[in-house]
Amino acid sequence: MQGESLEPVAADDNNKNIPEPQSRALLDHGPSGALPSGSVDPIYESKARLLNQAILDIGMGWYQWQLFIVIGFGWASDNLWPIVTSLILTPVQNEFSPSRPSYLVLAQSLGLLAGAVFWGFSSDIYGRRWAFNLTIGITAVFGLVAAGAPNFAAIAVFVALWSVGVGGNLPVDSAIFLEFLPATHQYLLTILSIDWALAQVLANLVAWPLLGSLTCQQDAAECSRSENMGWRYFLIAMGGVAMVMFGLRFVCFTIFESPKYLMGRGKNEEAVRVVHEVARRNGRESSLTVAALDALGGVTAQRIGAGGALRRNLEKFDTSHVKSLFATPKLAWSTSLIILIWAFIGLGFPLYNSFLPYIQSTRGVDFGDGSTYITYRNSLIIAVLGVPGCLIGGALVEAPRFGRKGTLSLSTALTGVFLFASTTAMNSDALLGWNCAYSFMSNIMYAVLYAYTPEIFPTKDRGTGNALTAAANRIFGVMAPIIAMFANLETAAPVYVSGAMFIAAGVLVMLLPFESRGKASL
């Protein structure tokens, strides 16, 4: 349960069992870091390597497998709710007849941006635990409330509010999971994207009967609320799923604060307690001690009193976490490139994917088979093809010939290529085929991107790094519906822009300086 406490670790007795030379031996023979030596503060790096070795000694056990399941809820939510927005776009437009339907996607993008920035930065200041639960809880509440929206403005506001919760899932959850994983199992961060793909399948599977049969047809002259209840039932169903995930996280699982986060805040004793508790739950023992961590560097004493507490809280809002990500030329180059890659994908993905059901329906009308039922059936087929992409991505990232960078570059570029190819479709089946290929490759891309990104940030700044990449992704995502307002979605222009963004991002990946395959994150 959430209120469960850790067993104490004595700082004066048990923590002196291992002398300093042994702690040094752990560092010397531990797994190498994803970032080269000298990229981060040397004292922090030494302590991070010691914690990496401690987690490696514990191994992949019961606690991490439970974490794998509940962290998967965050991955699922990250894809589920943007898909929900895209799926309800057409029936919402039919019912409310807004002058600018793309405002719904714009509201989502603004909420995702606010969530990514707030949750990502705050997780480095206040820790990961509270954000871990609140993100899905916020999403569930506003997703359910949105089902009663009386007009277009109301549904747009609720979409923005649930997106604030969604925006924090990946920045926070990826940091938590990576910081508890032994180096031998970091590939699981890629495999987690299976939840991302399955969420898309779930959304489309539920949408097919509800939106396909209980909403107005695309060519209907009038569309009343009573004839268009399917999208409201759909929101209730998806909000209910999110509420169940929130309940399982909050009630059935105990999330501990990341040991490396605690160490980075100077809380060595608490970090050791967490490591020992994880070991206990895995049926193992850990030889890590507070003395071993303390021996690698002193901790500045905290000021006491009300004035000191106020000053400490104010100091939390300095730019040190951002500066650390640009501390060396190589690290600055890596940080800048990964932010730019996320930005390009942030424009390319929603520009096409958010409007995919609309494109399917309008192009289907041109091809003579644009019924609402066919539109959502095709969306389900496209979603199913994304599932094997995640599994293949998980295998390729550990292959010496591909690794993280090779797999990410190839899959990103091919995602763009298949989008270009979709413009050649002369019938609905051809369009469906190219979209299936796009879905397959884009799921490989996201599986690797979500794993590689947190690996190349040091733990103490990982939330900030994730926030910067997510913010770039969301800022460019805001541009997608704005472009859609002035572009004709019945032409291939948005598809060409989207494809070009993916190909450009694929080229940039090859310029990244770090390959994290087989290396422990710091």
The pLDDT confidence band at residue 518, using thresholds 50, 70 and 90, is low
In one-letter notation, the amino acid at residue 459 is: T
Please compute the mean of the pLDDT values over residues 336-351 and round it to a whole number. 91
How far apart (Å, rounded) are the C-alpha atoms in residues 36 and 418? 36
Closest residue by Cα to residue 245 from 175, 337, 165: 165
Is the model's pLDDT at 33 over the cut of 60?
A: no
Contact criterion met (CB below 8 Å) for 58 and 279: yes
Contact criterion met (CB below 8 Å) for 95 and 246: no
Closest residue by Cα to residue 165 from 116, 232, 110, 234: 116
**Environment class of residue 300 by beta-carbon count within 10 Å: exposed (0-12), middle (13-18) or buried (19+)?**
exposed
| pLDDT on residue 522 | 54
What is the residue whose two structure tokens read 């752990």? 26
The pLDDT confidence band at residue 289, using thresholds 50, 70 and 90, is very high
| pLDDT on residue 329 | 87
Angle between helices 493-509 and 403-422 (to 10 degrees): 160
Contact criterion met (CB below 8 Å) for 254 and 66: no
Q: What is the DSSP string of 457-508?
A: S-GGGHHHHHHHHHHHHHHHHHHHHHHHHHS-TTSSHHHHHHHHHHHHHHHH
CATH number corresponding to 62-255+321-509: 1.20.1250.20
How far apart (Å, rounded) are the C-alpha atoms in residues 233 and 248? 23
Domain map (residue ranges) of the chain:
62-255+321-509
**Contacts for 497 with CB less than 8 Å, ≥ 6 apart:** 347, 348, 351, 483
| pLDDT on residue 175 | 79
Tens digit of pLDDT for each residue in 118-137?
887 777 777 777 888 889 99
Contact criterion met (CB below 8 Å) for 41 and 305: no
Report the SS3 class of residue 384. Answer: helix
| pLDDT on residue 40 | 59
Q: Provide the 10 A C-beta neighbour count for residue 436.
A: 18
Contact criterion met (CB below 8 Å) for 127 and 179: no
Tens digit of pLDDT for each residue in 163-203?
999 998 877 888 788 889 888 888 888 888 889 888 988 99
Q: Which of 9-13, 46-50, 362-366 has the highest mean pLDDT?
A: 46-50
Q: What is the DSSP string of 224-240?
A: -STT-THHHHHHHHHHH
**Contacts for 307 with CB less than 8 Å, ≥ 6 apart:** none
Contact criterion met (CB below 8 Å) for 3 and 252: no
Is the model's pLDDT at 225 over the cut of 80?
A: yes
| pLDDT on residue 66 | 93
